[in-house]
């Protein structure tokens, strides 16, 4: 099955989820995320804003703000095919529908942040494997953005268990994440990559 077909199949499955299912599974993902030491230690957290039945991030963003963390969300620069991190001080008041209808900071609330200061990034996607390889939406925005982070930054993908795939057919330009958190488990992808032996399988 080609990447395009996998992408379409997973998105269709996600869009068929009920509001209750999205809410319940997202809550389970969120509880695992906020329990992670990398989350608790992070001072600046960048999070996507959920769209079209993605794992909800509103609760995590509110938790960050309540704990005094600096919160950053992506602004899509379509002309230059890049993401610009922007600080959010009031959620969701600072936001309005932007590119593709995704909530982004209003013009008067646009507060650019250098990628190098971000400690933790919550990454969206269509599908993931246990090594952190990511099947995105095809625009390459995150693959271009993630290499700009500090080497000390941690990347965590949020997903429903159904988005965990045996293979997402990664390419050379794809940038893997460090963890995948689903409604059922936390996967340390960085550790899994280190365990791969010469056969390409976990040892």
Q: Within a domain: residue 200? A: no
- CA–CA separation, 94 vs 108, rounded Å? 8
DSSP for 25-63, written as a single string? HHHHHHHHHHHSHHHHH-SEEEE----TTPPP-HHHHHH
What does the pLDDT read at residue 20? 98
Question: Is residue 198 over pLDDT 70?
Answer: no
Is 136 labelled a binding residue? yes
What does the pLDDT read at residue 197? 53
Do 120 and 153 form a contact (C-beta atoms < 8 A)?
yes
Phi, psi of 10 (to 5 degrees): -70, -40
Question: Is residue 201 over pLDDT 70?
Answer: no
Question: Is residue 199 over pLDDT 70?
Answer: no
Find the CATH number of the domain harbouring 30.
3.40.50.10420
Per-residue pLDDT averaged across 88-103, rounded?
96
Per-residue pLDDT averaged across 151-173, rounded?
95
Phi, psi of 155 (to 5 degrees): -115, 130
Into how many domains does the chain fold? 1
pTM score, whole prediction = 0.94
Banded model confidence at residue 122, pLDDT cuts 50, 70, 90: very high
Q: Within a domain: residue 90? A: yes
Per-residue pLDDT averaged across 141-169, rounded?
97
Q: Within a domain: residue 175? A: yes
**29-39 residue pLDDT tens:** 999 999 999 99
Q: Within a domain: residue 201? A: no
Is 4 labelled a binding residue? yes
Is 54 labelled a binding residue? yes
Q: Which two three-digit tokens encode residue 7?
A: 């992408």
Q: Which domain holds residue 47?
A: 3-195
Is 138 labelled a binding residue? yes
Is 49 labelled a binding residue? yes
Is 6 labelled a binding residue? yes
Q: Within a domain: residue 139? A: yes
Is 134 labelled a binding residue? yes
Which residues lie below 8 Å from residue 64, measured CB to CB, with a gap of 6+?
Answer: 45, 47, 70, 71
Q: Within a domain: residue 202? A: no
Q: Within a domain: residue 104? A: yes
Q: Which of 41, 66, 28, 38 is nearest to 183 (CA)?
A: 28
Phi, psi of 35 (to 5 degrees): -85, -10
Banded model confidence at residue 1, pLDDT cuts 50, 70, 90: low
Is 3 labelled a binding residue? yes
Lowest mean pLDDT among 56-60, 182-186, 195-199: 195-199
Is 141 labelled a binding residue? yes
Q: Within a domain: residue 11? A: yes
Per-residue pLDDT averaged across 56-70, rounded?
99
Question: Is residue 23 over pLDDT 70?
Answer: yes
Question: Is residue 196 over pLDDT 90?
Answer: no
């Amino acid at each position: 099955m080609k990447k395009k077909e996998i992408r379409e199949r997973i998105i269709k499955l996600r869009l068929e989820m009920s509001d209750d299912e999205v809410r319940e599974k997202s809550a389970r993902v969120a509880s695992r995320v906020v329990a992670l030491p990398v989350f608790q230690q992070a001072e600046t957290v960048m999070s996507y804003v959920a769209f079209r039945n993605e794992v909800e991030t509103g609760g995590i963003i509110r938790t960050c703000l309540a704990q005094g963390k600096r919160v950053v969300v992506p602004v899509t620069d379509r002309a230059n095919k890049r993401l610009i991190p922007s600080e959010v001080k009031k959620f969701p008041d600072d936001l309005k529908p932007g590119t593709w209808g995704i909530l982004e900071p209003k013009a008067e609330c646009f507060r650019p942040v250098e990628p190098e200061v971000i400690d933790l990034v919550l990454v969206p996607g269509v599908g993931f494997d246990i090594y952190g390889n990511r099947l995105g939406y095809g625009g390459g925005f995150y693959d271009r953005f993630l290499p700009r982070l500090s080497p000390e930054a941690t990347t965590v993908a949020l997903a429903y268990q159904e988005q965990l795939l045996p293979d997402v057919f990664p390419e050379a330009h794809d940038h893997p994440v460090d963890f995948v958190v689903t409604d059922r488990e936390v996967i340390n992808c960085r550790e899994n990559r280190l365990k791969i032996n010469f056969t390409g399988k976990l040892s």
